[in-house]
Amino acid sequence: MTSQIEYPIDLEGTEITLDAVTEAPLRIPAQTWVIVEKLREDPWRLTQEDVSDGMGVSYTSAKFLCRPAGPGNETKLAFMRIRQQVPIAGTEFKPSLRASQAVEEPENKELNALKIFLTHRCEVVPRLLGYQQSKQKEDDMVPGGFVTYIVWEKVPGDSFDLINFWLRPFNEREAIRDKFRQVFTRFVRFGFMPLPGTSSKIIYDESSGQMYAYAIISK
């Protein structure tokens, strides 16, 4: 079940270095990122009963605004997602139990999709800039549990506004529909669909007419 508890907190200003990706053909260099702002968090906090019933593993997924470390990079913004295992509800203050809960990360469909889009140079999906799949340290929430970092580009534009769309003249709406058909056709040819399929997952740049799609992506 979901939870209102926040797990990664007070990370603004924290530097996170992601190792180089040597996996061909990705070849992403190592880079240090500075967290600018936490945007949202979606925890999936389970009880022991939930886990025993096969509902999966307790984890949280938090999205941040970030930038490359170093002077002069203040406006070079990107997004980072931190996905990590969290303790089963009620064991937060029991270190020995927390360590015994550590598991490997279940399939990360978002990361798999972004790697495929980058490999095939799919220009309608924000580009993967780096990632790292690690284990939590001894003093973390679940020692030995998974923690994954994913960084992707912040493309120009904003989430698509349906109200604004219907206020436009018919010819403008048709032009936007044509653009969406082009983007969607390019997107699904790799066998993926955006989930959830809402207008907020469409990024539209008013000035250039460029459109992108992004979500937790699944086959």
Say if residue 103 is in the same domain as residue 200: no
Tell whether 101 and 170 lie within a shared domain. Answer: no
Q: Do 129 and 182 belong to one domain? A: no
pLDDT at 188: 82
* Domain co-membership, 166 together with 203: yes
Q: Print the domain residue range for 42.
A: 15-153
Residue 6 forms part of a structural domain: no
Give the H or E element holding residue 67.
strand 59-68
Domain membership of residue 147 (yes or no) is yes
The residue assigned the tokens 């040597």 is: 22
132 compared with 185, residue with greater pLDDT: 132
| Residue 215 predicted with pLDDT over 70 | no
Please determine, for residue 1, whether its predicted confidence score (pLDDT) is greater than 60: no
Does 75 reside within a domain?
A: yes
Which residues partner with 64 through β-bridges? 38, 80
**Alpha helix ranges (H) inside the chain:** 48-52, 95-100, 109-119, 162-166, 170-188
Mean pLDDT of 69-83: 96
180 and 91 in a common domain: no
- Domain assignment present for 40: yes
**pLDDT tens digit string along 14-34?**
999 999 999 888 999 999 999
Q: Assess whether 121 and 195 both reside in one domain.
A: no
Whether 37 shows a pLDDT value over 90: the answer reads: yes
Residue 176 has pLDDT above 80, yes or no: yes
pLDDT over 60 (residue 92): yes
Residue 197's pLDDT is what? 66
- Let me know if residue 2 belongs to a domain: no
Per-residue pLDDT tens over the stretch 94-109: 988 999 999 999 999 8
> Per residue in 206-217, is it b (16+ CB within 10 Å) or e — as a string?
eeeebbbbbbeb
Tell whether 119 and 183 lie within a shared domain: no
Give the model's pLDDT for residue 198. 74
Does 202 lie in the same domain as 113?
no
The pLDDT, as a whole number, for residue 79 is: 97
Alpha carbon distance 36, 146 (integer Å) = 23
Give the total number of structural domains in the chain.
2
Is the same domain home to 180 and 113?
Answer: no
Answer with the one of 153, 171, 200 that is the final residue of a domain. Answer: 153
- Flag whether 5 is in a domain: no
**Is the same domain home to 209 and 196?**
yes
